[in-house]
Chains A and B, each alone.
Chain A
Amino acid sequence: MPLPELADVVVAGGGHAGLCAAITAAEQGRQVYLLERAPAVMRGGNTRHTRNLRVMHDGPVAGLTGSYSEAEFWADLHRVTAGNTNEPLARLVIRESKPLLDWLENHGVHFQPSLRGTLNLSHSNAFFLGGGCALSNTLYQAAEQAGVQIVYECRVTSVSMEGHRCTHVSGQFEGADFTLAANAFVMCSGGFQANAAWMREAWGEAADNFLIRGTPYNEGDVLRALMQQGAATTGDPTQCHAVAIDARAPKYDGGIVSRLDCVPYSIVVNRQGERFYDEGEDFWPKRYAIWGRLVAAQPEQIGYAIIDSKVTEHFMPSVFPAITAESIPALAEQLELPIETLNTTVQQFNQAVQPGEYHPQQLDDCRTVGLTPNKTHWALPIDTPPFYAYPLRPGITFTYLGLMVDSTARVQLSDGNACTNLFAAGEIMAGNILGQGYCAGTGMTIGGVFGRIAGAQAACLPS
């Protein structure tokens, strides 16, 4: 598809946020160009890896059970961010979440009851039938129907401003440079987690050992370009959603299947063969997001979850086979850990385990005493061969450093003014709401809500 010189609305990035913005603007009669960096088969950014969004609702809809009020949603968000959130924007997201759900359904997105093994989310999170890639396919179809011009393999790398107005974007398309002017711009190109150099700037060399759970295309091109143009930002570059995933996952795009759910039933040791955190602090869905940082803080950014054959059936199967041995020393040898230390760690752990009643699905009373750190739940002696290990690395979902926006999704400048015709939605501005921490499904809700707002605002600007 050839690019024109001028469009009504340009949307950069074709994930959930960009699609919501593009469809909304096109349905209001605007001629919209959606510029997506990836080729068509890899379109949809991190959105293709998602499974649900968090929705406030007052009765069963779209596979959701019960109800989930504004107060509950707000309490959850407030708790996970430790108050590090912009309340008016957060409440806007919460209130607009149900209309977003209806809008998605009207545009052909189907939902299903919460996936098996995720019952704790059944009243708050609506699951996409087929997952985020299916959602993205459906929205691409809706975008085509609405007349959005979709341009693949088109990378936006710079943004030109005149005062508070954005005049054009430029970058590469089909091996050549392009420049595209428009009446309004919506930036939806995600965070910068896939940009190895930027991650190293923020984290030092440790970043080289991070795995990126989602798309390799979110390198923060637009974010950086706008920062250079004086856009105000929120959050610091080390804030991100990071979980512990299987170290054998690919560097990019490993997605959901590289997660490991065995940690609460294991002991986790570092490269030196020593434990470093309470593996049984809480249910895994409530803790998995702190383990990315915990592992990132260990030498060489690696950890090893070790279990014995008693507990293998108590967690979701993982995609990579466990490393297996008949004895702890043999396991240590396979993992190339110091044999003596690992043996001692396991022995000390086993001796510290207190009698209790083991309940894999409840906060039980199986714990250790006298260890630093103790394991406070699901502590059973590791004594029944074969023994199994899963290597862990930090897996980065997305970064929070983002463009500061207002409730109209307008990008704010560091001089205190708002851009007149430049909007942002999705991961690129999620940091306004997620200053830190995370609750499952908010990424897609923020992207969809702000995408729709941005699209509507962009469409109603006089040309």
Chain B
Amino acid sequence: MSAELIASTRATEEAERLLTICNACRYCEGYCPVFPAMTEHRSFDASTVYYLANLCHQCTACYHACQYKPPHQFDVNLPPVFSAIRAQTFAEFVWPAAAAPLFRHNGRFAAIVVTLTVVLLSLAMNLWTAPGTLASSHTGPGAFYAVLPHSWMAGIAGVIVLFGMASVLVSSIRFAHHCGLTRRHLLSPAHWRATITAVATLQYLGGGHGDGCHNEDTHNSNLRRHFHQFTMWGFGLCFLATATAAVYELWLGRLSPFPYFSLPVLFGTSGGVGLVIGTGGLLWLKRRAHPQALPQDASNLDNALLVQLMLVSVSGLLLLALRESSAMPWLLIIHLGLVYGFFVTLPFSKFVHGLYRTLALLRYGPGLLQQP
């Protein structure tokens, strides 16, 4: 067995050991769906463990609440074990399977890809644009395409995004299949309703009482929920910005850059600001997190995604602010390089947690928890 596989088997075995203890205790039943879902089982195979681990959103409440936390000999500490298992599910179900090792050193992988995309794009632009193009300002409709022709810009993005979408789709289907999501769940309106509510409001980050999660100690705070909301909705708004921009360009015949008060710019600006606040906040919370309940993960899955989102949005906002200046061409190149890098790494990043978690929630459905 490879070292990785041994480690992963250990995490699953450890989860089984812990879940057997929790199932005889059940004190944490009200915190999150993990515990009610757990009580439907008497033993825990790998697929159940994967399902439960992806229901966990790492609020660490069950660590602090546990009378068996170390140094007790039962040594119960669920959040880091679940976190390791989630990373394992990302690697196990990723398509193409050869990409699995990328999850192991995710920070390094992301850094290499993003550096490559930015550097290659810069070199290419330096070689292929007419002399002076990159040093002067461009304004008016189509200004961006004076730097990089529209067909290239969209073509590269299209290839990367299509591949990314295909990959996360296949990965998600593989995960859904393995974690026991069935037709019954998929066809149940109640399950969809519960899932959409839970995802849209990040309901379970309320801690079971609405006062929020733990982070550095046992204080409840909704900060994590709010920062996560900024990130999630920020990402959504940026997506909308791109979509409306495409509509403007393809159907309305209007070329970017768009005016400050146009829909794409409004969506993009608010989304970008949301992402900066959200990712910055989440990174800040992570640095302060309780070292035992939320140890820094060596693979840097969280950091890789958060830092990338942060870089993309900061560069996007800078581009917006300075688009009339002569800094625009280089800002555009850097921003595009970061965006391309982000989408190249997306199927092999923590991004998939959103999908896996949603699928796990879909299986869980309305569950048995009523929460504020």
Contact = CB atoms under 8 A, between A and B. Distances in A.
B237 to A, nearest CB: 34
Interface string B27-62: 111110000100100100000000000000000011
Interface in A159-175: none
B285 to A, nearest CB: 19
The listed residue with most A CB atoms (<10 A of its CB), out of B29, B69, B219, is: B29
The winner among B28, B36, B220 for most chain A CB atoms within 10 A is: B28
Contacts of B62: 130
Interface in A241-263: 250, 253, 255-257, 259
Interface in A131-153: 131-134, 137-138, 141
Interface stretch (B17-25, B133-141, B186-194): B17-25
A41 B69 contact: yes
Interface string A15-53: 000000000000000000000000001100000110100
A298 interface: no
Interface residues of B, number: 34
B184 interface: no
A115 interface: yes
A42 B67 CA distance: 8
A131 B67 contact: yes
A319 B61 CA distance: 22
Nearest to B42: A317
B24 A112 contact: no
Given A112-B30, A137-B65, A138-B218, 10 more contacts: A110-B209, A113-B30, A116-B36, A116-B39, A129-B31, A130-B64, A131-B27, A253-B72, A255-B68, A259-B24
B208 A112 contact: yes
A6 interface: no
Contact of B24 (A41, A113, A317): A317
A137 B64 contact: yes
A130 B27 contact: yes
A313 interface: yes
A319 B218 contact: no
B283 interface: no
A110 B20 CA distance: 25
B220 to A, nearest CB: 8
A250 B20 contact: no
Nearest to A134: B65
Contacts of B65: 130-131, 133-134, 137
Contacts of A134: 27, 61, 64-65, 218
Nearest to A63: B30
Q: Is the interface of B mostly helix, strand, loop or mixed?
A: loop
A110 B218 CA distance: 13
A460 interface: no
A316 interface: yes
Contacts of A115: 26-27, 29
A350 interface: no
Contact of B25 (A42, A108, A256, A313): A256
A49 B69 CA distance: 12
A361 B70 CA distance: 36
A256 B208 CA distance: 22
B66 interface: yes
B24 A319 contact: yes
A117 interface: yes
7 contacts: A41-B71, A110-B211, A116-B29, A130-B30, A130-B65, A255-B25, A257-B21
Nearest to A46: B67
A258 to B, nearest CB: 8
B73 interface: yes
Contacts of B25: 131, 255-257
A209 interface: no
Contacts of B74: 257
Interface of B: 20-21, 23-31, 36, 39, 42, 61-62, 64-74, 208-209, 211, 218-220, 368
A313 B41 CA distance: 11
A117 B38 CA distance: 14
B67 A110 contact: no
A51 B27 contact: yes
A110 B61 CA distance: 13
B52 to A, nearest CB: 15
A239 interface: no
B67 A132 contact: yes
Contacts of B211: 110
B75 to A, nearest CB: 12
Contact of B42 (A129, A255, A313): A313
Interface string A96-136: 00000000000010101101110000000001111111100
B68 to A, nearest CB: 7
A316 B64 CA distance: 24
Contacts of A117: 26
A81 interface: no
Which of B30, B211, B368 lies at the interface centre, i.e. has the most chain A CB atoms within 10 A of its CB? B30
Among A108, A110, A250, chain B packs the most CB atoms within 10 A around the CB of A110
Nearest to B209: A110
A52 to B, nearest CB: 10
A318 interface: yes
A202 B28 CA distance: 37
A134 B209 CA distance: 13
Nearest to B43: A317
A253 B36 CA distance: 25
Nearest to A260: B24
A131 B64 CA distance: 11
Contacts of A316: 24
Contact of A141 (B26, B29, B61, B218): B218
Contacts of B209: 110, 129
Contacts of A48: 67
A256 B27 contact: yes
Nearest to B73: A250
B364 to A, nearest CB: 15
B210 to A, nearest CB: 9
A88 B27 CA distance: 33
Contacts of B36: 116
A113 B30 CA distance: 8
Nearest to A255: B67
Interface string A255-293: 111010000000000000000000000000000000000
A173 B72 CA distance: 23
B28 A130 contact: yes
Contacts of A319: 20-21, 24
A32 B135 CA distance: 70
A313 B39 CA distance: 12
Contact of B20 (A51, A129, A317): A317
Given A133-B65, A133-B67, A112 B23 contact: no
A349 to B, nearest CB: 26
